[in-house]
Chain A
Amino acid sequence: MTHPIPPGTRDILSDELRELRRLEATLREVFERFGYGEVATPTIEYHDVLARGDELGAPAAYRFFDERGELLAMRSDMTIPIARLVAERFATDDPPFRFAYLGRAYRAIRPQRGQMREFMQAGLELIGPDAPDGTAEVVEVLSAALDAVGLTRAVIGLGDADLYRQLLDEVGVTGDARQAIAERLASHDLVGLEAEIHSLGLGAPEREMLVRVPAIRGGAEALAEARELGGAAVERATARLAATYEALQQRGVAGRVRLDLGLLRDLGYYTGAIVEVYDPAVGHVLGGGGRYDEVMGRFGRPLPAAGFALYLERLHIAQTEEERIAGEGSS
């Protein structure tokens, strides 16, 4: 007789948990240092309440009825529950709100290394301050957190969720074609993207701009490179990204930030700046975040907001790989 556990879940034994707890303590210390108090919210919420915020986000995959027949759901991230918390518990308080969390979330993904259906997220939300300063503060704390856990080689990719939509507006791509292009971009299919763009019957300069801009990534020079391709249209579409980058430079954290004009996040609630975290020792994204200026409004408290979440298990894997590499280098 066997006693299985559901796919995508796992037991964590003492050696691993000891290291995970150490990692959590380090992150908690960084969050506190920047004025982000930790909060905890229920793992289960009313499905309707979650759906209010994450209509565009990761849909809650695990749902069930309680004893009164109410539909409940396991949260798929922490951003929506904290948006709810701010709207409910701080309805009459003045922003800014700074909250950090370390908690479990649930998604019905294909389980693989560092990517389980039940996973730990560590992150924070900054509600109130607008772009670009709010974004820059969030990136600064993210950068400090990566340093604190020893991932000094980690890189933060910075993009803009609306950039490509705006470019499509500039050249007047609408309807089905727009949808098809968005899907190609979301699935990282640059071959399909190029084919879709070529089928639009645009002039060569516009075509070139739509094909090449999402492939541009790098330091400050990336913006200049993009503008060379598209002139005023690109200038307008990248203005916000440029302002964010400038704010990061002022805070002195632009050094580890790589601009990525094709960056997209899986969650649809992002507006404006988006970030993703990479470490050269591992092939998976360690976390990400961005601005979600329209989510708070859905809870009756319209406020600009930004945040990030790191996947704790993946951070741990990256730490281990980095230690291994450092060990090989010194031996």
Chain B
Amino acid sequence: MIRSGVSASRPAGLGGPLRLAVPRGALFGGTLELLDRIGIDTHAARSDSRALVFSTPSLQLVTMRPSDVPTYVEAGAADVGITGKDVLIEQHDRVVYELLDLRYGECRMVLAARTGDRTLDEDERRLGAMRIATKYPRTAERYFESTGRQPELIEVKGSVELAPLVGLADGIVDLVDTGRTLAENDLEIREEIARCSARLIANRVAHKLRAAEIDELVGRMREEVGA
């Protein structure tokens, strides 16, 4: 029987099937496809866009923004979850187990600037710091720190590509999939910071107390993605 709705107030620790945090957005399709392939009925999650919780016999699915997945998993409100490596890098202080590279949702975290433009290097040399706009301030901060540079980070929420076009920043740190958006805005990749893809993560306590179920889930997913 498929039950959906928000009635599932069971703490993750009460037993029953494992609770999996499923990312909505760009990773939603790939995640449901993977779940289908390992034999989990995702029909309800596909059809009802307003409900947040979907129960299947082997797994309870809870849907949320990808950036919320580590929050739910760290607190144990979900036993396991799927989110992007970009989210895990940005929230690197969350204590969760990263169990498996699921190999979909592949993209790159990059430093990009206007094509052929020298402002990035010149500002660094003459003004002491380049100005970088990003939605990933902590990722950017750690990357520049690790490469011995001290940029001025500007956090923005919307389209980051706009910032260098109108002179808010010299460059951007952002997630790039095909690179089309960059090209359309006359931006080019200057440095690659990290390769990202969907990852399976687990709560620290669930990883110990529900070891057999989690290992079994990892095994089934590993077989499907060929990791």
A191 interface hit (Cβ, 8 Å): yes
A258 interface hit (Cβ, 8 Å): yes
B211 interface hit (Cβ, 8 Å): yes
Binds A, one of B106-114, B120-128, B133-141, B202-210: B202-210
Q: How far is the CB of B96 from chain A (nearest CB, A)?
A: 7
Known contacts A188-B97, A215-B215, A155 near B76 by CB under 8 Å = no
Contact B204 A285 (CB under 8 A): yes
A113 interface hit (Cβ, 8 Å): yes
Instruction: Name which residue of chain B comes closest to A192, CB basis.
Output: B98
Contact A281 B100 (CB under 8 A): no
Chain A residues with CB below 8 A from B76, complex form: 282-284
Known contacts A215-B215, A278-B209, A110 near B96 by CB under 8 Å = no
Please tell me which one of the listed residues A113, A215, A217, A276 contacts residue B75 in the complex, with CB atoms under 8 A apart. A113
B93 interface hit (Cβ, 8 Å): yes
Q: Which of A112, A260, A283, A325 has the most CB of B within 10 A?
A: A283
Known contacts A110-B93, A217-B211, A188 near B204 by CB under 8 Å = yes
Q: How far is the CB of A2 from chain B (nearest CB, A)?
A: 27
Q: Which of B14, B95, B205, B206 has the most CB of A within 10 A?
A: B205
Contact A283 B12 (CB under 8 A): yes
Question: Which B130-163 residues have C-beta < 8 A from chain A?
Answer: none
Q: Is the interface of A mostly helix, strand, loop or mixed?
A: mixed
Chain B residues with CB below 8 A from A189, complex form: 98
Question: Which A281-299 residues have C-beta < 8 A from chain B?
Answer: 281-285
Contact A283 B93 (CB under 8 A): no
A218 interface hit (Cβ, 8 Å): yes
Contact B13 A191 (CB under 8 A): no
B99 interface hit (Cβ, 8 Å): yes
Docked Cα-Cα span, A110 to B93, in Å, equals 9
Chain A residues with CB below 8 A from B209, complex form: 155, 258, 278, 280
Chain B residues with CB below 8 A from A324, complex form: 11
Contact B99 A283 (CB under 8 A): no
B74 interface hit (Cβ, 8 Å): yes
Contact B99 A190 (CB under 8 A): yes
Contact B208 A283 (CB under 8 A): no
Please tell me which one of the listed residues B11, B95, B99, B206 contacts residue A325 in the complex, with CB atoms under 8 A apart. B11
Contact B74 A157 (CB under 8 A): no
Q: How many residues of B are in contact with the other chain, CB < 8 A?
A: 28
- B64-100 near A? 1/0 per residue, CB < 8 Å: 0000000000111100000000000000110111111
A321 interface hit (Cβ, 8 Å): yes
Docked Cα-Cα span, A217 to B98, in Å, equals 16
Chain A residues with CB below 8 A from B93, complex form: 110
Q: How far is the CB of B82 from chain A (nearest CB, A)?
A: 13
Known contacts A113-B75, A325-B11, A284 near B98 by CB under 8 Å = no
Contact B96 A188 (CB under 8 A): yes
Q: How far is the CB of A154 from chain B (nearest CB, A)?
A: 10
Instruction: Name which residue of chain B comes closest to A321, CB basis.
Output: B11
Q: How far is the CB of B74 from chain A (nearest CB, A)?
A: 7
Instruction: Name which residue of chain B comes closest to A193, CB basis.
Output: B98
Contact B98 A281 (CB under 8 A): no
Q: How far is the CB of A91 from chain B (nearest CB, A)?
A: 39
Instruction: Name which residue of chain B comes closest to A156, CB basis.
Output: B208
Chain A residues with CB below 8 A from B95, complex form: 188
A313 interface hit (Cβ, 8 Å): no
Instruction: Name which residue of chain A comes closest to B205, CB basis.
Output: A278
Contact A191 B96 (CB under 8 A): no
Contact B14 A285 (CB under 8 A): no
Known contacts A157-B208, A217-B208, A283-B75, A191 near B11 by CB under 8 Å = no
Docked Cα-Cα span, A192 to B101, in Å, equals 9
Question: Which A225-262 residues have C-beta < 8 A from chain B?
Answer: 258, 260
Chain A residues with CB below 8 A from B13, complex form: 279-283, 321, 325
Contact B97 A190 (CB under 8 A): yes
Docked Cα-Cα span, A215 to B99, in Å, equals 10
Please tell me which one of the listed residues A191, A276, A279 contacts residue B98 in the complex, with CB atoms under 8 A apart. A191
Chain B residues with CB below 8 A from A282, complex form: 11, 13, 76, 205
Contact A283 B100 (CB under 8 A): no
Contact B11 A281 (CB under 8 A): yes
Q: How far is the CB of B85 from chain A (nearest CB, A)?
A: 8
Chain B residues with CB below 8 A from A157, complex form: 208
Contact A190 B98 (CB under 8 A): yes
Contact B211 A283 (CB under 8 A): no
Please tell me which one of the listed residues A155, A191, A283, A325 contacts residue B199 in the complex, with CB atoms under 8 A apart. A191
Docked Cα-Cα span, A279 to B97, in Å, equals 17
Given contacts A283-B77, A325-B14, 12 further A-B contacts (CB under 8 A): A110-B93, A112-B75, A188-B96, A191-B98, A191-B100, A191-B199, A258-B211, A278-B208, A280-B13, A282-B76, A283-B205, A321-B13
Interface pairs (7), CB distance under 8 Å: A191-B98, A191-B199, A282-B11, A283-B74, A284-B204, A285-B205, A325-B14
Q: Which 5 A-B pairs have the closest CB atoms?
A: A283-B76, A280-B13, A188-B97, A278-B205, A281-B13
